[in-house]
Amino acid sequence: MTSGRAPVRVVVVGSGIAGLTVALHAADAGCRVTLATKDVLEHANTRYAQGGIAGVMFPDDRADAHLQDTLIAGAGLGDPAAVRVLVEEGPARIRELIALGVAFDRAADGTLVKGLEAAHSYPRILHAGGDATGTAIERALVAALRAADIDVVEHAFLVDLVCDGARAVGVDLLLGETDAAEGRRVRLDADAVVLATGGAGELYAHSTNPDVATADGIAAALRAGAAVADLEFVQFHPTTIAVGTPFLVSEAVRGEGATLIDDVGRRFAFDAHPDGELAPRDVVARAIARRMAEQDGRPVRLDAAPVHPGDPAARAVHLARRFPTIDAAVRERGLDWAREPIPVTPAAHYLMGGIATDLFGRSSLPGLYAVGETARTGVHGANRLASNSLLEGAVFGARAGDVIRTDAVTGTWVGPAVEAGASAAPAADVPVTTPLDPVPVFSRRRLQEVMWQGAGLIRDEDGLSHTEALIAAWRAHTRTPRREKEYEDENLLLVAAHLVAAARARTLSVGAHYRRDTAPTPRSPAPDLVVEGSS
């Protein structure tokens, strides 16, 4: 650092794998880092990641194969340059995690255990604790952060970005809110702001995300004029337990042989794709939705018997050892997957779009970076390949953290090439074509149901236009948020407006954006997916 120059001040918002990695790398580069997180430090989407982390860690695997798998899963809309960065730098980031203490599962001879998941041509998935990979990674990164010279602010809600002209120079946070009292506004000044606030799972009635996933970073970036892209690409995970609160059943279960069956016990996934249960996620999720529609909305079943054929008692031991987190969730719901198939249904899982960035996390707004699910790097295209999300957070989090100091010291800013289809329009500029009268009273639950039905797994112009009009009507009523939940509602409404506008603008079906009105082959009507036992 230049002699006599004050350290570059960096504020990172978010404490998942991407945010923690940015903070650690920026601190190592000599920046003065403050990390703010909405809940406690350990409560981020990363800790819920079961499936694992993909990476070319074995001598008979190839980066080019991982690249091709990623591009194919993304329906050809991924950015090859971004994917190249992901697959070539991924192994170094995984080794960095191992050095920090992440104990990936190993065989008796000490070698890493290989796992296979959908749409991968090679079993390159690493797991920790069977199905607790995210928890193991989060724990190791949090320990490293607490040992570093990094300030942490917990229970800090991002109200907005602070801009000076056309540059991000800090954040406004809401701190100390309780059930009885409003929080206080605090401003943190910064030379660089990094948004690592996760996705938008709370937009949908059924989601695998924790309730903190309210699109806060994307909404703040939109209000500040930063470009976003690909918001229409929402991944719906095929298999969540359809009893009680939705709980994800990792793709790794199907990777080890579990099958999907309908009411009459038939494996139906091969009707949609030659890879059956291991087809890309969007294909499997729609195959489930169609079969559910054909059987009056009843969930399909996941049969775990092929994972460990033979005696159910021995199978129970194997499932509990291999998938301890899922096994506990299954049994908490009164189900015994060692003896009978369990009901499953799709749920909103991951946002492929977000704040448009270059390959170092820079947004179109100078001083603002975005990483992880908040960002649109171009890696995922129209559909994320299984277990690439943790890898993306680690790779692009490190890249952003490594360049922030140099960017701030030199005053240069490259930023992404904003592509056609990217949006930075103020909320009021999102077009509305269908007026509504009367307008139902707004509630978050009503928004989630409207998004689930109109802009969910299967879409069409009628549903999207109705959803757009309803969101616009809700947003037309002036509200002054004071509490965290009220700010979250405004963020969800803003991002929902842009998501639906993007979905209407992309008239052709591709990847996770499936429009039954323009799909090349006829499909069953969009189903009302009912999750048994949920409110």
Spatial separation of the C-alpha atoms in residues 388 and 86, rounded to whole Å: 9
Closest CA to 354 of 386, 396, 407, 387: 396
What b/e string do you get for 41-51 counting C-beta neighbours within 10 Å, with b at 16 or more? bebbbbbbbbb
- Sheet containing strand 9-13, strands side by side: 151-153, 32-36, 9-13, 192-195, 368-370
φ/ψ of 239, rounded to 5, equals: -125, 100
Spatial separation of the C-alpha atoms in residues 394 and 25, rounded to whole Å: 11
DSSP state letter for 173: E
Q: Residue 527: its pLDDT value, please?
A: 42
Could you list the active site residues? 281
Q: Residue 494: its pLDDT value, please?
A: 98
Spatial separation of the C-alpha atoms in residues 484 and 18, rounded to whole Å: 23
Give per-residue pLDDT as tens, 473-525.
999 987 899 999 999 999 999 999 999 999 999 999 999 999 999 876 544 43
Domains of the chain: 9-135+146-169+189-232+352-410 (3.50.50.60), 239-347 (3.90.700.10), 427-505 (1.20.58)
Closest CA to 168 of 428, 487, 413, 417: 413
Spatial separation of the C-alpha atoms in residues 448 and 471, rounded to whole Å: 11
Q: What is the largest CA-CA distance in the chain?
A: 75
Give the amino acid at 452.
Answer: W
**Is-above-0.85 flag for pTM?**
yes
Task: Using 70 as the pLDDT threshold, list the residues of the chain that sit under it.
Answer: 1-4, 418-437, 520-535
Beta strands in 29-138 (DSSP E): 32-36, 53-54, 125-126
Spatial separation of the C-alpha atoms in residues 222 and 163, rounded to whole Å: 13
Q: Residue 428: its pLDDT value, please?
A: 44
Q: Residue 436: its pLDDT value, please?
A: 64
Closest CA to 388 of 9, 4, 8, 17: 17
